[in-house]
Amino acid sequence: MQEVESKDINLKKLEAEAKANSTPSSFKLMFNEFKSDKMAMISLILVSLFILYVIIASFFINTSNMMSTNIMNYFAKPFTPDFWLGADAGGRSIAKQLIVGSRNSILIAIGLTAISSSVGIAYGLISGYFGGITDLAMQRVYDFMMIIPSFMIIIEIVNIIPSYNAISLTLILSMFYWMGTSRLIRAQTLSESNKDYVQASRASGTSTLKIIFKQIMPNVSSLIIVDTTISFAENIGVETGLSYLGFGLPMGTPSLGTLIANANDADNITTYWWTWLPATIEIIVLCLAISYIGAVLRRATNATQRRSTK
Amino acid sequence: MKDSPILLKVKNLRVHFPVRGGFWNRIIDKVKAVDGVSLTIRKGDTYGLIGESGSGKSTTGKAIVGLQDATKGHISFMDSDVTKKSARKKMNYNHDVQMIFQDPELSLNPEKRIFDIIAEPLRNFEHLNNEEEKIKVLKLLEIVGLGPDSLYKYPHQFSGGQRQRIGVARAVATNPKLIVADEPVSALDLSVQAQVLNFMKKIQKEFDISYLFISHDLGVVKHMCNHIAIMNRGRIVEIGTREDIYEHPLHIYTKRLLASIPEADVNKREEHHKNRLEVEKYYEQNKDKFYDENGEALPLIQITDTHLAAIPKNMKKG
């Protein structure tokens, strides 16, 4: 009994010693990297606050009320107490539409990124690790998905399906946006799976699935983080573009794309600039900020590019 | 040594790789990486497998550990057949047979901490609880001469010799009976080589491990091994005890390899040089006799109890 206890204390002491000498966690490394790049820090704060704000604020907005036409406010001027950013031809508040629309666009982009990146990562890892016939078959599927004009087909599907909402639209989009990620991950996996540590894992009796997702995946994590960030910015554009063309979210649901579509009217461009300019600026700022964040994440995951000295 | 039980028996092992080509990507040829290798490793042996690059020694080692499927032949471990993957899995083969890799830079996962690397075989085979696992890893680290402070570090924070010792710690974690060491020191500089080799000898005594020591460095092998097999072009050309090989080499390839060991004795430099030229001349003149018309080594013939060599039958008396 005595011996077990002394061993316990010993273990704790050694553990503490090990902890003190451990390398900083990757989370801490990223934080340090953000601290050393002001622009990226501002971007990170801006993006996260903005996303939080639109999600919370949209709870207080009654969408159907907001989207109802009110002829009295026809093209109301901006910077007034009732209409911060003015109103459109239907007398609907641009500011409120911007909040709800941003929420819709961003949530769809987050969902799309989560699904398509997970699928792409798993697809690339499996295809790259197994190689041979598996790889050949999976890459032909990939080729097929690459050559079909995805935008056209999405528009077709949206037209055929009688009723759809944000969730089903996200799922439809996810079917067509996993390929880029998968090819990137596959290329890296091909080179990783030939390294000796994979053989060492096999010799240690680790199962194939564990080797793929626990041994190889951490080694492509830098690629995954960067690619996911960049494709998030890209995916905001996907939904926005679709809604701009009028095939995105169903009628009466605001989105960044529908707001930008106001710019289709020559009158709106010259006279009623407040109907489309805020949404356009928002997308530019958002995408720029996200790409700054992506650059920092790339540096943080690659030891040779780090700027922070810690 | 003769009386200790047989640990591993490799019988007529062949590993052929297909060469694909042509319009339909058909198999147009095959590379005979390993072509009929037979070995017997007894308990407590350090068995040296020597050969030049591309002679198939690493492939033999990988086939024995189970990382490479055998095209033909049998591998049996302690009297049970382990040629098939399912058989290996059933008896937890890799619990008893482990491997030390050539380049510690590549064989340790750069994204994993030392604790996770050494604990990997333990997690798969021994199913200890967290505390026992940690104590075991700390003990292993102590055995290989690293402190507890290395537990949560990453491989890139260690020197080459330290990394290879971490690789050794991983290999001995499950107390295996046989370790296949695939050129364990060839990526290290000379001073570190001695350190790792002595250390491997030390744990051999401590844990009663047998080694299959794959190398091209005859100096290292002389220091480590009691049995030696020389491989050339996928086949074993000479096999015997250390004395058999170093004192009475018979095959021309063995002679040539032995002549290539660098000598530091400056006074006898001329003598060595002459000796080497002689061996080379003999090799050039007689190499056709030692290989058949396809350039493959001849079958092994028994010279003494322990000594076999792939020499022409009419040369046996010599």
ipTM: 0.84
List chain B residues with CB under 8 Å of A26. none
Instruction: Select the residue of A23, A196, A218 nearest B107 (Cβ to Cβ).
Output: A196
Structure confidence by residue, pLDDT tens digits, B240-261: 888 888 888 888 888 888 888 8
Q: Which of B101, B109, B134, B180 to mutate to test the interface with A (most CBs of A within 10 A)?
A: B109
In a domain, A78, yes or no: no
Mean pLDDT value across residues B177-200: 86
pLDDT at position B35 over 90: no
**Across the interface, do B108 and A200 touch by the CB < 8 Å criterion?**
yes
Chain A residues near residue B148 by CB distance under 8 angstroms: 14-15, 17-18
In a domain, B260, yes or no: yes
**In the predicted model, what is the mean pLDDT of chain A?**
86
Subunit contact A199:B101, Cβ cutoff 8 A: yes
Contact A195 B106 (CB under 8 A): yes
Q: Rounded mean pLDDT of A190-199?
A: 90
Query: Is residue A7 a part of any domain in this protein?
Result: no
Split into its structural domains, chain A has a count of 1
Mutation to test the A interface, candidates B101, B111, B124, most A Cβ within 10 Å:
B111
Chain B interface, best mutation among A3, A8, A191, A197, by max B CB count within 10 A: A197
| A310: pLDDT strictly greater than 70 | no
Chain B residues with a Cβ under 8 Å from any Cβ in chain A? 62, 65-67, 92, 94-95, 98-99, 101-103, 106-113, 115, 120-121, 124-125, 131, 134-135, 138, 147-154, 157, 167, 170
Measuring CA to CA, how many Å separate A77 from each of A74, A89, A91, A268? Answer: 9, 11, 10, 13
B-chain CB neighbours of A18 within 8 Å are 115, 148-152
What chain A residue is nearest to B176 in terms of C-alpha separation?
A204
Range from A10-24, A135-149, B60-74, B199-213 that averages highest in pLDDT:
A135-149
Give the range with max mean pLDDT: A211-215, B158-162, B263-267: A211-215
B230: domain CATH number? 3.40.50.300
In a domain, B1, yes or no: no
Q: Is residue B200 part of a domain?
A: yes
Beta strand spans in chain A (E): none
Interface of A with B in 196-255 (CB under 8 A): 196-197, 199-206, 215, 218-219, 221
**Residue B234 to residues A235, B14, B19, B300, B313, Cα–Cα distance (Å):** 55, 9, 16, 13, 21
In-domain check, residue A178: yes
Nearest-neighbour CA in chain A from B73: distance (Å) = 21
Q: Say whether pLDDT at A8 is over 70.
A: no
| Of A124, A46, A56, A107, nearest in space to A235 by CA | A107
Residue with tokens 């042509």, as numbered in its chain: B22
Chain B residue numbers touching A21 (CB-CB < 8 A)? 149-153
| Confidence check: pLDDT of B19 > 90 | no
Span A165-184, pLDDT tens digits: 888 889 999 999 999 999 99
Nearest of A111, A134, A64 to residue A92 by alpha carbon: A64
The structural domain count of chain B equals 1
Higher per-residue pLDDT: B218 or A183: A183
Q: What is the dihedral of CA B104, B105, B109, B112, to 10 degrees?
A: 100
Q: Sort B155 into a burial class: Cβ within 10 Å, 0-12 / 13-18 / 19+.
A: buried
Does A165 reside within a domain?
yes
B98 and A203 within 8 Å at the Cβ level: the answer is yes
- Tell me the pLDDT band of A6, cut-offs 50, 70 and 90: very low
Residue A80 belongs to a domain: no
A204 → chain B, closest CA residue? B121
What local confidence, expressed as pLDDT, does residue B44 receive?
86
Say which residues have a Cβ less than 8 Å from residue A115's Cβ, sequence separation at least 6: A170, A171, A174, A178
Chain A hits for B94, CB-CB cut-off 8 Å, are 203-205
Four-residue CA torsion sign, A226, A228, A230, A232 = negative
Q: Where are the alpha helices (DSSP H) in B6-56?
A: none
| Closest chain A residue by Cα to residue B92 | A205
Q: Which residues of B touch A15 (CB under 8 A)?
A: 134, 148, 151
**Position A1 confidence tier, pLDDT thresholds 50, 70, 90:** very low
In a domain, A19, yes or no: no
Q: What residues in A contact B157, CB-CB < 8 Å?
A: 23
Q: Which domain holds residue B307?
A: 6-315
Q: Examine residue B118 and state whether it is found in any structural domain, yes or no.
A: yes
Per-residue confidence (pLDDT) for residue B199, from 0 to 100: 85
A17: confidence class by pLDDT, cuts 50, 70, 90: confident
Residues in chain A closer than 8 A to B139 (CB atoms) = none
State the residue range of the domain holding A202.
30-53+95-305
pLDDT at A108: 92
Question: Is A19 in CB contact (< 8 Å) with chain B?
Answer: yes
CA A65 to chain centroid: 30
The tens digit of pLDDT for each residue in A61-119 reads: 887 777 777 777 777 788 877 777 878 877 788 888 899 999 999 999 999 999 999 99
The CATH number of the domain where A207 resides is what? 1.10.3720.10
Lowest mean pLDDT among A21-25, A118-122, B60-64: A21-25
Whether B250 is covered by a domain: the verdict is yes
Distance from CA of B294 to the nearest CA of A (A): 31
Which element (helix H / strand E) includes B227? strand B227-232
Q: Which chain A residues are Cβ-neighbours of B150 within 8 angstroms?
A: 18, 21
Q: CB distance from A160 to chain B under 8 Å?
A: no
- Burial call B165-194: b when 16+ CB within 10 Å, e when fewer: bbbbbbbbbbebbbbbbbbbbebbeeebbe
pLDDT of B81 over the 80 cut: yes
Of all residues in chain B, the percent with pLDDT exceeding 70 is: 98
**Which of B62, B111, B138 lies at the smallest CB-CB distance from A14?**
B138
**For residue A2, what pLDDT is reported?**
41
pLDDT-derived band at B32 (thresholds 50, 70, 90) equals confident
B110 with A200: Cβ contact below 8 A? no
Under an 8 A CB cutoff, do B108 and A15 touch? no
Least confidently predicted of A9-23, A144-158, B101-115, B163-177 = A9-23
Look up the pTM and report it. 0.83
Which secondary-structure segment (H or E) carries A27?
helix A26-36
pLDDT at A121: 95
Work out the percent of chain A whose per-residue pLDDT is above 70. 93
